[in-house]
Structure 1
Amino acid sequence: MEWDWAVGGITDEIPRTTGPECINYMTDRRRWTETALLSALFIYIMHGNWKRLAPIRLPPAHEIQKSHSPMRLFLLISMSFVFGIEMGFKLAGGSMIFALNPCHVQTCLQIYLLAAKPTKTTTALFRIQMSNLNGPFLAFVFPEVEGRTYPFEQATYWIQHALLYIIPIYILRSGAYTIEDLGDFKWVKIGTAFMLFYHFLLLSPLSILTGINLDHMLCAALSDPFQGQNYRLFACCHQALLCPLLSKGTVLLFGSGKSRCNENGVHNNVGGGRETYTPPGSEHVLYHQLPPQQEYVTTETMTGEYTMPTTKID
């Protein structure tokens, strides 16, 4: 069969993976209704917060241009190696459809972030994925390794999810990408809404059509304390609380002055050099829009020299 590489090895030997119990856990009508309504809600949340984002401030030019450190290269190679092994296991077991689970998508994103140079786009991606640290956290609290029978397959599970949390901490400490102010929750709302939107727009329909429980969108896990018809609604609520807690808590504990911005979106350059001037009213410019270029004019005052920024019109 042409799809054996993706779904051929998935059986109901592991409870709540597939099979009649999982498929009949709730009605398809209920699943499709939740998918449509919640997807619309998440789009509304993302769009509303996207319009109010402060402009992204990049690190100083010398930080952007410098070559990757040995530690960054080590993490890049390690995560790429572990991810390659994990995909090999999935191909060998005929379960490649599980590569769509969020932790594997986040793995690909972190590999890209480690390899890329800081830009406004990569910084936005980093801030969004900071709201998806619930994946590795829940993987350790509620591990699911029963179906991993190949040698080293369970070890790969633990190493991959550990790296998913270690890499954001390293990036925060290195200052490669800036992070928004601790009191700014717009990026957290976008990241959390996008994560839930991904579940309901992609994983939920695929689960319904294939009968395979992708990231528990078809039926609740046995370890889920919110069993029953409303388990997906409960999941939206407790993840909407957990994601900001993990994101902001990680920044508070491990963020450095290099990576943090002040409440106006200005990069805190603790390493020296001139900080970026933020003109009044630019706080609500979309992240990819550049504020007017500034020139600095020095004037004499009674108490000495004063440097005033003026707008340069191109």
Structure 2
Amino acid sequence: MLEWSYSGVNFSLKGNGGPDCVNFLSPTSIISETILIIIYSLVAEIYYPWTRSISNYKPNLELRERFGRKLLLASLCLIWGIEIGYKLSTRQLIFILNPCHVVTFLQIILLISPPRNWMHILFRFQTYVVSGATIAIIFPVLNTRILPFEKASYYIHHALMLVTPLYLMRLGGIYNMEPLSNFHWGFISIGFMRLYHYLVLQPISFMTEVNLNSIMCPAVSDPFEGPWYRIAAHIHQTLFILLHGKIYCIIGQKFFVPKQVEIKTVSVHDAKKLIDANGNCIEPDGYAENFCFNSEKLSNGSNIKED
């Protein structure tokens, strides 16, 4: 019934699929790798207490409503729509199941949806698995892209994927990364992606003979081509996903994360005022409206800086 979604896949192109790709690995190798990886992934998902890391902080809504968010959202939706259009026109919509398209969909949700605590989980997950976009740029698979602008669309799409987490970090609040010494989010993301590959992509690939995300045979640009290419991928991708995620932590904290506000209490005659690190007055809960707006001096004689 869904043959139209993959009937246009050209199996004569290396790494695209077909009988040779299906038979690239022995059944014994496929079964043993699948069992081992699924066990590892389930252990990672059960062991790491990911539900305890949900943030209760709200993002900077003023920054969220800036033009940059709308521009990024429009650009991401446009280029993703173009990619889907290519796949529809060539009857290769099945490739929409590849991880980069799934991550793009998650990023669009993050840019569209109002902030909720559960989005904290989604943000950290996509910040790790977006490493696939970097791999796609370093080792591009372009031999299947023959339509006008299709190769340019490939690079623009993956570049926008890499920009999105940094922009979200700029909003602050729930869009934040864990400390550099904490690796549990990285292993959670790796475990989930392994389950997606082996429980979703692999069965569909063998049923359709379409090589989704190189699960049946190596891509044309894979430097580890050979009978052990999947084992090699597990090793180097585990290391790369963790490294890539921590690089995002460093870059985000250095250049994109809003500076945390240091709050202190000062006296104004008989009242208390909350003053941040920049000298701005913060209205405390339970006080009259416009509490901060006056010309009083602090107990140490300095003027209050008002917004």
- State the partner residue of 2:271: none
Q: Percent identity?
A: 34
- State the partner residue of 2:26: 27
Residue correspondence of structure 1 range 84-99 to structure 2 within 5 A: 84-99=81-96
* Cα separation, 2, equivalents of 1:218 and 1:44: 24
Which of the residues 220, 223, 227 maps onto 2:221? 223
Which of the residues 88, 97, 118 maps onto 1:100? 97
1:169 aligns with 2:159: no
Deviation of 1:218 after TM superposition, in Å, equals: 0.5
* Cα separation, 2, equivalents of 1:195 and 1:218: 16
- Alpha-carbon distance change, 6 to 270 in structure 1, aligned in 2, over 3 angstroms: same
Look up the equivalent residue of 1:112 and give its one-letter code: I
Per-residue CA deviations over 1:15-57 (Å, capped at 9, x if unaligned) read 1211232121112342233223311210111110126x64433
RMSD: 2.2
Deviation of 1:130 after TM superposition, in Å, equals: 1.3
* Cα separation, 1, equivalents of 2:68 and 2:262: 23
- Alpha-carbon distance change, 169 to 258 in structure 1, aligned in 2, over 3 angstroms: closer
- State the partner residue of 1:41: 40
- Does the 8 A contact of 1:28 with 1:208 survive in 2? no
* Cα separation, 1, equivalents of 2:239 and 2:23: 29
Deviation of 1:58 after TM superposition, in Å, equals: 3.4
- Does the 8 A contact of 1:5 with 1:91 survive in 2? no
Per-residue CA deviations over 1:97-156 (Å, capped at 9, x if unaligned) read 100000000000000001122222101111011111221111111111121122221111
TM-score by length of 1: 0.78
3-state SS in 1 of match to 2:110 = helix
- State the partner residue of 2:292: none
* Cα separation, 2, equivalents of 1:55 and 1:243: 20
3-state SS in 1 of match to 2:136 = helix
- State the partner residue of 2:240: 242
- Alpha-carbon distance change, 56 to 142 in structure 1, aligned in 2, over 3 angstroms: same
Deviation of 1:272 after TM superposition, in Å, equals: 5.3
- Does the 8 A contact of 2:140 with 2:221 survive in 1? no
Deviation of 1:174 after TM superposition, in Å, equals: 2.7
Look up the equivalent residue of 1:100 and give its one-letter code: L
* Cα separation, 2, equivalents of 1:215 and 1:258: 31
- State the partner residue of 1:140: 137
Deviation of 1:273 after TM superposition, in Å, equals: 5.4
3-state SS in 2 of match to 1:255 = helix
Per-residue CA deviations over 1:284-314 (Å, capped at 9, x if unaligned) read xxxxxxxxxxxxxxxxxxxxxxxxxxxxxxx
- Alpha-carbon distance change, 94 to 257 in structure 1, aligned in 2, over 3 angstroms: closer
* Cα separation, 1, equivalents of 2:256 and 2:10: 49
* Cα separation, 2, equivalents of 1:210 and 1:88: 21
5+ long unaligned stretches in structure 2? 265-307
1:58 aligns with 2:51: no
* Cα separation, 1, equivalents of 2:237 and 2:155: 22
Bigger mean CA offset, 22-31 vs 68-77: 22-31
- State the partner residue of 1:125: 122
- State the partner residue of 2:193: 195
- State the structure with bigger RCO (CA 8 A, min sep 6), 1 or 2: 1
Look up the equivalent residue of 1:6 and give its one-letter code: S
Look up the equivalent residue of 2:215 and give its one-letter code: M
- Does the 8 A contact of 1:35 with 1:204 survive in 2? no
1:270 aligns with 2:260: yes
- State the partner residue of 1:293: none
- Does the 8 A contact of 2:130 with 2:162 survive in 1? yes
Per-residue CA deviations over 1:42-100 (Å, capped at 9, x if unaligned) read 0111110126x644333347x25775211011101110111111111101111111000
Deviation of 1:5 after TM superposition, in Å, equals: 2.7
* Cα separation, 2, equivalents of 1:112 and 1:199: 22
* Cα separation, 1, equivalents of 2:257 and 2:54: 12
Bigger mean CA offset, 81-90 vs 21-30: 21-30
* Cα separation, 2, equivalents of 1:101 and 1:120: 27
Look up the equivalent residue of 2:260 and give its one-letter code: V
Number of residues paired by the alignment?
Answer: 263
